[in-house]
Structure 1
Amino acid sequence: MTDHPSPSAPFEIRRGSSPVILGMPHTGTHVPQDIAARLNAHGRTVGDTDWHIHRLYEDLLPEATVVRATFSRYVIDANRDPSGHSLYPGQNTTSLVPLTDFDDVPIWRDGEAPTDTDIAERIAGFHRPYHAAIEAEIARVKAEHGVAVLFDCHSIRSKIPFLFEGVLPALNLGTDGGLTCDAAIESVAVEVAKASGFSHVLNGRFRGGWTTRHYGKPEDGVHAIQLELAQSTHLASESLPYDYDPEKAASLRPVLARMLSEIEAAALRLAGKSA
């Protein structure tokens, strides 16, 4: 695998030879100074970050490509439809540029909420470049293998009453009801989850975000699947300072490694290659 740092771009790429691409739209914490000045004290904690996901997945599938956004989702959410259309009509959620956190607490100073002009600028400066990188890597690996799998990596607190009732399962797989990937890929992911000992669900509260739904076109050989992890699986605490828990992670990482390996093998079989 080769590293392709891009200091001027709002993303990082690690390019590998596998048909699997790991998307990480929410691990970034960078907020440009002019935007940070408009956030309130609560917003500046960037509490809804997918904490330590890039560390959790590191080298689990060594030849997987990784595309990671470095900016905070409070700048703009790279996993939301740039048109502003809701992923979950009728349900509580956060918007393309969030006005509140996941507990419905405001994150912007009074009178400093982003304007339509701000949102358009952030689409051009952050959202669009990140997705251009995703698109380029999908095209590259599909040209090499005849197939591409985008595995979108996420995490969220296990208890958020504003978004869902009760306690979230540990492993939340999303394929938008089977629309975003071949049944063979969905099946191996579910089987690994079932065998893991962790609680799990397929297409529950989280069915796959805009990234999964936008890129998943199995009829064209491009498959997408999302895994939303409850942060209780790998964090010492689901509140500040959101420390990584190596012991918890040590139990989870082999499950994730097996899932990625099985998905890669299933993809190669779909492409008619030996797995």
Structure 2
Amino acid sequence: MPMHVRPGVFLRRDPAGDAVPVIFDIPRSGAEYPRSFRPTAPFADVQRSISMYVEEAYAGVVDAGATWLYACFPNVFIDPNRNELDIDPDALEGEWPEPLKPGEKTKMGIGLIPMVCAGTTRLYPGRLPVADVRARLDDYYWPYHRELGRILQGFRERHGIALHMSCHSMPAIAAAGQADAGQRRSDFDLGDRHGTTCSAEVRDLVASVLKGFGYNVTHNKHFIGAECVRKHGDPANGIHSLQIEMNRGLYMDEAARTRSDGLARVRGHLAELARQLAAYARTKSPA
């Protein structure tokens, strides 16, 4: 299959056969640590922030004609699923050139530039220079989002439609501090920011396919969808962005951080999801 890479930033796999206007983006599973990233937290804690193996779970989508886009850098360095202004000014050494908009996640230390990992472990001994944070945006965050946006706009122009699945994973049981703390989560939770980033038809198709495999599927229950779908979703103009949160208990041992036997099964199911989305896209595309 054709493969394109911007070293350290993103890896893109294009379908070998007939391409369809469907992309699966994996923004929070990267494990290529930039040289400029020097946290003082233990590596085991740093690693716990990464949504491990999601890129492997979706590896089969290219066989259905879909595009696969993977952020190589770790989200604990800079998180593509946060807004570019979601920064805590108290975490910065220096003044930011425009007003910042820190949200609830930033107050928890897990905004655009995470300041904690593994729940409470501080990543850095002090504040981060503004120039450091700006470089993370310019060299990693924006190139990833520009590539995703370029692909979606190209799909829209050529086919009249673009289907964007933003692929994430969630702990099987919500941690303390989360709105659903202590609860056993569903197998898949589909986030469309309350219908603003994806049509109900596309969302319901995804839910139907996953339910057909016996999964418990919820909608905007645990997560409504964050920046990747907010920034790119435009259903009124044919771009449908849906955040798919997958329960880690389906494919890995969370305590050991290792793959489980369920990974191969999930990969097959997600490849079938891609085939169903490809078939749907073909019915909507004049190209």
Alignment of 1:121-200 (within 5 A): 121-159=135-173, 160-163=175-178, 164-165=180-181, 166-200=183-217
Aligned to 1:260: 274
C-alpha separation between the residues in 2 aligned to 1:77 and 1:101? 13
Residues 1:106 and 1:91: Cα distance change in structure 2 (over 3 Å): closer
Q: What CA RMSD, in Å, does the superposition of the two structures yield over aligned residues?
A: 2.3
Determine if contact 1:184/1:266 at 8 Å carries over to the other structure.
Answer: no
C-alpha separation between the residues in 1 aligned to 2:143 and 2:108? 28
Q: Which moved more, 1:48-57 or 1:259-268?
A: 259-268
1:29 Cα deviation (Å)? 1.1
1:217 aligns with 2:234: yes
Q: Over residues 77-98 of structure 1, what are the superposed CA-to-partner deviations in whole Å (9 max), with x where a residue is unaligned?
A: 0111002146667995720000
* TM-score of the pair, normalised by structure 2: 0.84
Residues 1:218 and 1:88: Cα distance change in structure 2 (over 3 Å): farther
Any idea what SS the aligned residue of 1:268 has?
Answer: helix
Residues 1:11 and 1:30: Cα distance change in structure 2 (over 3 Å): same
Deviation above 6 Å: which 4+ runs of structure 1?
Answer: none
Q: Give the aligned residue type for 1:148.
A: A
C-alpha separation between the residues in 1 aligned to 2:162 and 2:201? 14
Determine if contact 1:43/1:107 at 8 Å carries over to the other structure.
Answer: no
Aligned to 1:6: 6
1:147 Cα deviation (Å)? 1.1
1:132 Cα deviation (Å)? 1.1
Q: Give the aligned residue type for 1:243.
A: T
C-alpha separation between the residues in 1 aligned to 2:102 and 2:118? 15
Q: Give the aligned residue type for 1:121.
A: A
Aligned to 1:73: 75
Any idea what SS the aligned residue of 1:59 has?
Answer: helix
Q: Give the aligned residue type for 1:150.
A: H
5+ residue gaps in structure 1?
A: none
Aligned to 1:104: 120
Q: Give the aligned residue type for 2:27.
A: P
5+ residue gaps in structure 2?
A: 87-100
Residues 1:92 and 1:271: Cα distance change in structure 2 (over 3 Å): farther
Residues 1:6 and 1:139: Cα distance change in structure 2 (over 3 Å): same
Any idea what SS the aligned residue of 2:189 has?
Answer: strand
Aligned to 1:48: 49
Q: Which moved more, 1:26-35 or 1:66-75?
A: 26-35
Identity %: 23
Aligned counterpart in structure 2 of residue 117 of structure 1, from 128, 131, 135: 131
* TM-score of the pair, normalised by structure 1: 0.88
Residues 1:86 and 1:262: Cα distance change in structure 2 (over 3 Å): farther
Count of aligned positions: 266
1:59 aligns with 2:76: no
Determine if contact 1:50/1:155 at 8 Å carries over to the other structure.
Answer: yes
C-alpha separation between the residues in 2 aligned to 1:86 and 1:192? 37
Q: Which moved more, 1:216-225 or 1:59-68?
A: 59-68
Aligned to 1:19: 21
Residues 1:88 and 1:173: Cα distance change in structure 2 (over 3 Å): farther
1:114 Cα deviation (Å)? 2.4
Any idea what SS the aligned residue of 1:261 has?
Answer: helix
Any idea what SS the aligned residue of 1:12 has?
Answer: strand
1:249 aligns with 2:266: no
Q: Give the aligned residue type for 2:35.
A: Q
Q: Over residues 36-55 of structure 1, what are the superposed CA-to-partner deviations in whole Å (9 max), with x where a residue is unaligned?
A: 2x332157642111111111
Any idea what SS the aligned residue of 2:59 has?
Answer: coil
Q: Which moved more, 1:142-151 or 1:201-210?
A: 142-151
Aligned counterpart in structure 1 of residue 255 of structure 2, from 229, 239, 244: 239
1:101 Cα deviation (Å)? 2.2
Q: Give the aligned residue type for 2:185.
A: L
1:193 Cα deviation (Å)? 2.7
C-alpha separation between the residues in 2 aligned to 1:137 and 1:55? 21
Determine if contact 1:188/1:259 at 8 Å carries over to the other structure.
Answer: no
